[in-house]
Amino acid sequence: MCPPHFPHHLPYLSLSLPCPPLTPPCPRVPPGHPRFFNQLFSGLDHHALAGRFLTETLNTTPYTYEVAPVLLLMEEQVLAKLRELVGWSSGDGIFAPGGSMSNMLAMNVARFQRFPESRSRGNWDLPRLGLFASQESHYSILKGAALLGIGTDNVHLVRTDERGKMIPEELEKEIQRVKAEGSEPLFVCATSGTTVLGSFDPLDAIADVCARHGLWLHVDAAWGGSALLSPQLRHLLAGIHRYVPPPVPLRRCSPSQIPGLLQRCHGMGATYLFQRDKFYDVSLDTGDKSPQCGRRADGLKLWILWKAVGTRGLARRVERAYLLEQVKRREGFQLVMEPEFLNLCFWFIPPSLRGQHSSPEFWDKLGKVAPAIKEKMMRRGSMMVGYQPHGSRVNFFRQIITNPAVTRRDLDFFLDEIQELGRDL
Amino acid sequence: MCPPHFPHHLPYLSLSLPCPPLTPPCPRVPPGHPRFFNQLFSGLDHHALAGRFLTETLNTTPYTYEVAPVLLLMEEQVLAKLRELVGWSSGDGIFAPGGSMSNMLAMNVARFQRFPESRSRGNWDLPRLGLFASQESHYSILKGAALLGIGTDNVHLVRTDERGKMIPEELEKEIQRVKAEGSEPLFVCATSGTTVLGSFDPLDAIADVCARHGLWLHVDAAWGGSALLSPQLRHLLAGIHRYVPPPVPLRRCSPSQIPGLLQRCHGMGATYLFQRDKFYDVSLDTGDKSPQCGRRADGLKLWILWKAVGTRGLARRVERAYLLEQVKRREGFQLVMEPEFLNLCFWFIPPSLRGQHSSPEFWDKLGKVAPAIKEKMMRRGSMMVGYQPHGSRVNFFRQIITNPAVTRRDLDFFLDEIQELGRDL
């Protein structure tokens, strides 16, 4: 957003707000730029943007039919399409402001389904609950446990294999251990598309464990759910239709058998908003299913995007190969692992460190390479890419392409630039 | 949003999406229309809309400086301005998606401040907590208590006076009662601008009670906070600077003495986002103060609006008189109470019911008038206004003007239309 230098052919927005007089230089490559690979988001889809402009201009909130009729119907239609993608012909849903909040709502609904009295009486009369998620799960599981009064200590992080996938046998062991300690297992969060490695937990095997113990299975597919759109990648989420096998007393029922759960869990029926004496069918007033009151009508942008691009068009955005081939071909680039999805994780090994793989100080030095290259690229303002350490692995780059405007030229530039910036380290 | 008939001079957006084949007619007066008085929001400010377009186009999320430098600095600046309005020279803050979520965060921070171990261990080791809010408080207090594992039964709704203001002596009694029952009072939510009546709780007197018992005082000023902008109306929030007198062990300290509370309460320090080895000052990465991960950069629209319109310009929007005079002057209109703020609550008494005030069936019949007029206006598509019952009061209209585009002509039309639609009831 600062005065940028953009030797680039693609249009995007440049704000000419002056940088305030601060020490850190303003990054020059904003998320809309085709050389921004820094996060799980980037770029701009024109159809979705049109939807967002409409949403902002309409300036309403989809809680009641009378103030957002078409938006509410669109939301319902998009939710039905999403359920269809999962493999359900019925069910329920609501849009939430982001994946973190969605994970929290899932935990809350699971608690309410098992212990309906918790809504009125809190956690005090409940046994100590146990939540399970993999070591690679998103940090919002911990945030949610803290917010919900369950506590981060009661989130049991299940070991993953070398690819970052939850090990179902380890889940089984954790559940046994937690039971033995006197807590009551409630909820398993499987992750489809982990944040760093882009790993997919084995849903079918995890669902088996959940069914055995009567646990609520939640799938955090905020990142990897789009793989469902692709016939090539869909298999990564095999078993996701077993998403909600609720525990006692409704063992093994399908989502269609728990109608109204969101409404019963979150609804408060405020008489100034959800009046029952309206002249139309008040089941169209779906807003009380959410813990929010006012909400943005986020269904619209997805409705427009999906209509405009189509399922096949969306699928093409998650199928990719070019950069992977290049990373394998070029000297100095080393994959952390063969990717399954959009997360391409790799180290750049500067010439000075090549051929020293077994040396103990090699990893120590390598861990400083990514931050050093990142600093150089931010000061130069040429591009953006994220890095992080991971378990015993030292800092590596995580490259993500989600921007439909990215071209092969940008990807060649991406690798060239890392080579150049890291040459003398 | 349906094909509308707009005999109106003002521009606004009309979407030509066809209405789906549904029973209820699509409302023809959307929230952007100057004859929409249905909710606590309406209309569109062009400056704010420009900000929202920018936010959507920049398509970033203000969690780290590297991906949203200027937006983060703007957020900090707007938060500082808001604190200044309250009367604080220091403090902390974060934007949340709506007032409901903000109330929930306040409860969570209050719990964490008193019982830091609750974050990791949940509510089980805590005494049963007591939350207090008035009978007129927003329903998100109940939603929040349910979500946080505290439970709606542990929200104690304090009696209000005939104007809808919390009675401090009743708060004192409730606190005593809850203590006597063995629960531990924690948190008082005072409301500045209640949803229906627009009432302001007496903050100074409530703060005295909180100080005496060492309770966290939270002010829900989502609706009435804008009164702080107006020299005429500011007195309604007298005492709001006593907002956070945290309890033991930090009795009577100011917000500046609890630095980092949001961060300590919500932060998880995800290593893939909040890396500590960045080359810039990572205190600029404020996103971990929120329970969300990705968030919309909602500070921008307020920044632009405030810069463009100024404090005085914003204040003018919450000072009003014209409609009130008219309602008092016209036959058949009866105020529920003299308004203090933007909520104008009144009954329309059709000719057939006039002069029957004492009759027992009068109120029964009057309660059916507002829904009947509402149905007629929605079918005709002429305007929108909200109604609700309230305690022992039968359905009445609540008129709100927040749309800067509303003219006297619209307000005359508003009253004429009610008279016409209600003439034969």
Q: Do B70 and A44 touch (CB under 8 A)?
A: no
Mean pLDDT calculated for residue range B285-306:
92
Q: Contact at 8 Å (CB) between A138 and A98? A: no
- Nearest residue on chain B to A73, alpha-carbon basis: B20
Instruction: Give B99's contacts in chain A (Cβ within 8 Å).
Output: 293-294
Q: What is the predicted pLDDT for the residue at B17?
A: 44
Compare CB distances from B24 to A139, A280, A374 and report the shortest one's residue.
Answer: A280
| CA of A70 vs chain B CAs: smallest distance (Å) | 7
| Averaged pLDDT for residues A81-104 | 92
Q: What is the pLDDT of residues A288-326, one digit of tens each?
A: 999 999 999 999 999 999 999 999 999 888 877 789 999
Residue A150: the pLDDT is: 98
Assigned token pair, A412: 């060649």
Q: Sorting pLDDT into bands at 50, 70 and 90, what band is B283?
A: confident
CB nearest to A13's CB, from B57, B129, B196:
B57
Alpha helices in B115-259 (DSSP H): 118-121, 140-147, 168-180, 203-213
Q: What percent of chain A has pLDDT over 90?
A: 68
pLDDT value for B284: 87
- Which ranges in chain B are annotated with CATH 3.90.1150.170? 1-44+320-425
Residue numbers in B near A41 (CB within 8 A):
59-61, 294
The CATH class given to the A61-299 domain equals alpha beta
- Within chain B, which residue ranges are assigned CATH 3.40.640.10? 61-299
Cβ neighbours of A292 in B, within 8 Å: 97-98, 100-101, 140
pLDDT of residue A9: 34
Q: Which fold has domain A1-44+320-425?
A: Aspartate Aminotransferase, domain 1 (3.90.1150)
Answer yes or no: is pLDDT of B15 > 60.
no
> pLDDT at residue B319 above 80?
no
d(CA B45, CA B35): 15
Share of chain B above pLDDT 90, in %: 68
- Verify whether the Cβ–Cβ distance B272 to A69 is below 8 Å: no
**What pLDDT is recorded for position B14?**
38
> Which of B17, B196, B292 has its CB closest to that of A101?
B292
Residue type, B166: M
- The chain-wide mean pLDDT, for chain A, equals 88
Q: Would you say residue A18 has pLDDT above 60?
A: no
Q: pLDDT for A250-274, tens place per residue?
A: 433 344 445 688 999 999 988 888 8
CB-CB neighbors (< 8 A) of A147 in chain B: 104, 108, 147-148, 291
The residue in chain B having the minimum alpha-carbon distance to the alpha carbon of residue A69 is B26
> Which chain A residues contact residue B293 at CB under 8 A?
98-100, 138-140
Look at residue A350 in the predicted model and tell me its pLDDT: 96
For residue A252, give every residue at least 6 positions away whose Cβ sits within 8 Å of its Cβ, in sequence order, or none. A211, A245
Distance from CA of A109 to the nearest CA of B (A): 9
Lowest-confidence range among A36-45, B216-225, B369-378?
A36-45
**Quick one: pLDDT band at residue A26, thresholds 50, 70, 90?**
low
pLDDT of A2 > 60? The answer is no
The predicted pLDDT at position A3 comes to: 33
> Pick the residue with more confidence: A66 or B12?
A66
Distance from B74 to chain A by nearest Cα, in Å?
10
Q: What is the pLDDT at residue A252?
A: 39
A contacts of B49 (beta carbons < 8 Å): 56-57, 59
Tens digits of residue pLDDT in B222-246 = 999 999 999 999 999 999 988 755 5
Asked if A191 and A137 touch (Cβ cutoff 8 Å), the reply is yes
pLDDT of residue A244: 56
- What average pLDDT does the segment B27-39 reach? 84
Do residue B27 and residue A60 have CB atoms under 8 angstroms apart?
no
Amino acid at B39: Q
Question: Lowest-confidence range among A31-45, A158-172, A238-252, B406-420?
Answer: A238-252
Confidence band of B26 (pLDDT split at 50, 70, 90): low
Q: Which long-range contacts (CB under 8 A, 24 or more apart) does B38-42 make?
A: B38/A66, B38/A67, B38/B384, B38/B385, B38/B386, B38/B400, B39/A61, B39/A67, B39/B386, B39/B400, B40/B195, B40/B223, B40/B400, B40/B402, B41/A59, B41/A60, B41/A61, B41/A294, B41/B402, B42/B400, B42/B401, B42/B402, B42/B403
**With an 8 Å Cβ cutoff, are A99 and B294 in contact?**
yes
A285 in Cβ contact with A64 (< 8 Å): yes
Interface touch A59/B98, C-beta < 8 Å:
no
Select the more confidently predicted residue: B320 or B313: B313
Q: Please give the average per-residue pLDDT across B2-29, as a whole number.
A: 47
Residue B155: what are its φ and ψ, rounded to 5°?
-95, 120
Average pLDDT for residues A118-131, to the nearest whole number? Answer: 97
- Output the pLDDT for position B244: 56
Yes or no, beta carbons of B195 and A272 under 8 Å apart: yes
pLDDT of B256 > 60? The answer is: no
Given B140, B296, B390, which is nearest A293 (Cβ)? B140
Q: Is the pLDDT of residue B403 over 90?
A: no
What predicted TM-score, i.e. pTM, was given to this entire model?
A: 0.90
B26–chain A nearest CA distance, Å: 6
Give percent of chain B above pLDDT 70: 90
| Closest-CA residue of chain B to A58 | B32
In the structure encoding, which two tokens stand for residue A19, read together? Answer: 């940088």
Length of chain B: 425
Q: What is the pLDDT of residue A332?
A: 94
Residue that has been written with the tokens 């220091």 in this structure: B90
Q: Chain B closest CA to A172's CA: distance in Å?
A: 23
For residue B118, list chain A residues with Cβ-Cβ distance below 8 A: 146, 149, 151
Q: How many CB pairs under 8 A join A and B?
A: 317
